[in-house]
Structure 1
């Protein structure tokens, strides 16, 4: 099963960005996980963009990294036997691993599914943007994870709708 992940952190391009929040939604949309952290960052760590666009979206309550780890491990324990994270940044995946610490769940695939190649496709982009029309909190980790899920679903539907061998004559066979 794919799970769509997004994180919010203190700023792009920082030598040591710090995690603020993490959101995950399952491929079927039935299960979600969201956590805001209280002890991994400070206001002074945040870029102007994060202070302006991300922090106002936080709703709390924030929890400690240890409490977040416990909740996240329980969430993965209640998940199917194989879970693969889908994200558009290795930074997000590294933050997930940071929250998990030494306790990486046995059902978590070692490598994420990279959403970056889909970002520039119109079908993915349009579905993500449409999601923000229903929930305009772009840069909220859980909202963004849900938007990525919608983009991926639209991309998958478009792939099903177009034949894999466009241009091939009907009835041709391999010889």
Structure 2
């Protein structure tokens, strides 16, 4: 099963990007994981884009320290199907996840990622993902972005089936 991953972090142009929030959404849409970090980053660490587009949308109930996040994330992944592959459009997101799981990578999770970048610009993927966003569902919020990635992937797969390629 694919699990769609998105993260928000302090910025690509900062020396060491620091995790702010993380979301995982299962392919079937029945399981989700979302957490915001209470530590390990500061507003001063964030670039202008993150301050403007990411920080105003934070405020979830599931705010965890980095020490709390790691075991909860591992437990969520281990409770999933026997075979999980992480799908993301960003190598940075996957690297952040890998750093969190270092030393205790769940056996049911593949060590490589399913790269969505080639699909993201396709019409079906892009339009489905963009339709997801609206009032209360902001782009550049890890959970909303992960949900949009899932919907885009589903639309892309459906479009391929209609063209006889799937």
Same fold (TM over 0.5): yes
Q: Which runs of 5+ in 1 are unaligned?
A: 166-175
TM-score, normalised via structure 1 length: 0.90
Tell me the residue number matched to 1:42: 42
Distance 2:134 2:10 in 1: 26
The runs of 5 or more residues in structure 2 that have no matched partner are none
Q: 1:19 to 1:58 in 2, by over 3 A?
A: same
Deviations 1:116-164 (A, max 9, x none): 0011101100000001136531110010000000000000000111123
Q: Which structure has more strand as a fraction of its residues?
A: 2
Local SS of the residue matching 1:111: strand
- Residue 103 (structure 1) aligns with: 104
TM-score after normalising by structure 2 = 0.95
Q: Partners in 2 of 1:54 and 1:80 — Cα distance?
A: 31
Give the alignment's Cα RMSD to 1 decimal: 1.4
- State the partner residue of 2:6: 6
Name the SS of the counterpart of 1:76 in structure 2.
Answer: helix
- What secondary structure does 2:109 align onto? coil
Match in the other structure for 1:171: none
Alpha-carbon distance in 1 for matches of 2:60, 2:134: 23
1:112 maps to 113
Task: Give the number of aligned pairs.
Answer: 165
The answer as to whether partners of 1:25 and 1:32 remain within 8 angstroms in 2 is yes
What is the CA–CA distance in structure 1 between the aligned matches of 2:36 and 2:102, rounded to whole Å?
Answer: 17
Within the alignment, does 1:75 sit opposite 2:73 as a pair? no
1:75 is displaced (CA, Å) by 0.3
Aligned residue for 1:105, secondary structure, equals coil
Q: Does the CA contact (< 8 Å) of 1:135 and 1:143 recur in 2?
A: no
DSSP 3-state at the match of 2:110: coil
Higher Cα Rg, which structure: 1
